[in-house]
Amino acid sequence: MKDSLTQELQQKAEETVLLDVELQSLERERVHLSLVEEKLVDILQLLQQLEDLNVSRRSLGKMLLSSLESGSNPQHGKAHILEVLNALYHELAACEILSSDGPLQKTQSQQSLHDLIFYC
């Protein structure tokens, strides 16, 4: 009887370890999904602001395609998704800065964001 209790205890300990590993994996996935959700909310807010600034859909499409190409290595998996979203966010933010700056600030923005000017 003592051996059967010992075996049962060992089995429960092994199950506990497996459940802990699964819990850690789920926690990492939750954190990743939270980051993706935050970035998507930021992107949607920028898109709404750019719509108010009358940025053309064609320009927005070019930014999206450029962002997708910047993270064109699909071997990165989940990190790849966040990389593409970050690239898109930065392109949209740069476009908003260029579209909303006044004449004096615009020259400074154009200097640092010269490669994105043709999108806007």
Q: Helix, strand, coil shares of the chain as percentages rounded to 5? A: 90, 0, 10
pLDDT tens across 46-55, in order? 998 888 888 8
Report domain extents, the chain: 2-119
pLDDT of 101 reads 59
Q: How confident is the model at residue 97 (pLDDT cuts 50, 70, 90)?
A: confident
Q: Under DSSP, is residue 1 helix (H, G, I), strand (E, B) or coil?
A: coil
Q: Is the pTM value of this prediction over 0.85?
A: no
